[in-house]
Amino acid sequence: MTKMTYAEAARLALKEEMERDSTVWALGEDLGFEGGMGGQYKDLQAEFGIDRIVDTPISEATIMGAAIGAALAGTRPIAELRFSDFAMCAVDELVNQAAKARYMFGGQARVPMIARMPIGIRGGIAAQHSQSPEAWYTHVPGLVVVTPATPADNRGLLKAAIRCDDPVVYMEHKGLWGTEGEVEENDSHPIPLGIARKVVTGNDLTIVTWSAMVDIVEKAALSLADEGISVEVIDLRTLWPWDRDSVFSSVKKTGRLMVVHEAVQVGGFGAEITSEVSEHLFSMLKAPVKRMGGARIPIPFSIPLEAAYMISKEQIINKSKSFFS
């Protein structure tokens, strides 16, 4: 086991996959000198050359569109959009082209590309650099949506995403770039897309979450255990496809479900999960399902205001307890 950061784990995955497959390449702004926003591309340009780690103009539509064209023409491009907020300049290309090419051309084409676009609050970057729009893309047939929570997952899931023949929206959390975790360097296998990870085993309440909230929910679960509430924590890892089987079997055991995500609660992916569970497991539920997501406000700048948007460990603990009061 080696300790490395979430961003370093991404870099390891990129490097390994680029070494393994000469058709894998990356394009985006500031990948060379800067090495990407979190250092995921650090020194890779020196190693793989300017044709495989391509510094591009600030042209999001073309970063995305070029990745699609390059995927259609036989390569496996990784489009780096820097922020999911900026990727919105290229939603047309992603939604109208990447997600549809295979289908509307009757299976003649595959679009094996990744659109990397980090989500989440990193602290003080406010309304246009902090959003978590992952639910948008789960709504689009053709796309896979990945939201890794740990360094090990960021390596394994990124490798799987690179090898996937579908267009993958790959959403790191900016706040996780510097967090450290154990990564088994010798095990270079991809982590299959669509399989959740059980973070904590418990019997009384299932909490489903992903991305940066996993760590906070895990801490809340440990505190709740001290108070005699046994929480099972599930990190979904991928939102589309989401691991319905794991969630359902956990809820069948605990009879209680809460979904926690940083994204705005209204229309968030928590709604999909809680609704599916309510629809199919209603008779097994001991209490109504609950959701926790961000307030429906733009992410504010000032420290106390930003904190007002975020979901805290304490809030999770309190809401969890409310199942039993």
Partner 1 sequence: MAQVQTNEPARIFNMYKKMLLIRAFEEAAAENFHAGNVRGSVHQYIGEEAIAVGICENLRNDDLLTSYHRGHGHSIAKGADPRAMMLELFGRVGGTSGGKGGSMHIADFSVGMLGANGVIADGCTISVGAAQAIKLLKQDKIIVNFIGDGGINRGPFMEALNWAKVYELPVLFVCENNQIAATTTTKTVTAGDGIEARAKSYGIPAITIDGNDLLLVDRTAARIVDEIRAGSGPQLIQAMTYRLKGHYAHDEALYRNPSEVESALKNEPMPRTETWLKDQGVSIEEIEKAKDEAKKLMANYVSDAHEAPWPDISDAFTDVQDVGSPAEGTNL
Catalytic status, residue 129? yes
CA distance 293 to 213: 10
Q: Which stretch of DSSP H or E encloses residue 44?
A: helix 44-48
Q: Environment class of residue 300 by beta-carbon count within 10 Å: exposed (0-12), middle (13-18) or buried (19+)? A: middle
- Which residues, at least 6 apart from 305, have a Cβ–Cβ distance to it below 8 Å? none
Calpha distance 269→273 (Å, rounded): 7
The span from the CA of 228 to the CA of 256, in Å, is 16
Cis peptide before 288 (omega within 30 of 0): no
Q: What's the one-letter identity of residue 152?
A: A
Residues that bind partner 1 (CB under 8 A): 23, 25, 27, 51-52, 54, 56-57, 59, 61-62, 64-75, 77, 92-93, 96-97, 101-109, 141-144, 164-166, 193-194, 238, 240-241, 244
For 246-285, strand residue ranges (E) read 257-264
43/8 Cα distance (integer angstroms): 12
- 221/40 Cα distance (integer angstroms): 31
Phi, psi angles (nearest 5°) of residue 86: -75, -30
* Other CB atoms within 10 Å distance of the CB of residue 284: 14
Q: Which residues contact 151 (CB under 8 A, 6 or more apart)?
A: 4, 5, 6, 8, 9, 179, 180, 181, 182, 183
Out of 129, 173, 189, 261, pick the active-site residue. 129
| Among candidate residues 98, 25, 89, the one with its CA nearest the CA of residue 58 | 89
Q: CA 224, CA 317: separation in Å to the nearest integer?
A: 7
CB of 15 to partner 1, least distance (A): 18
Q: Residue 150 corresponds to which tokens in the numbers above? A: 């740990």
Residues assigned a catalytic role:
129
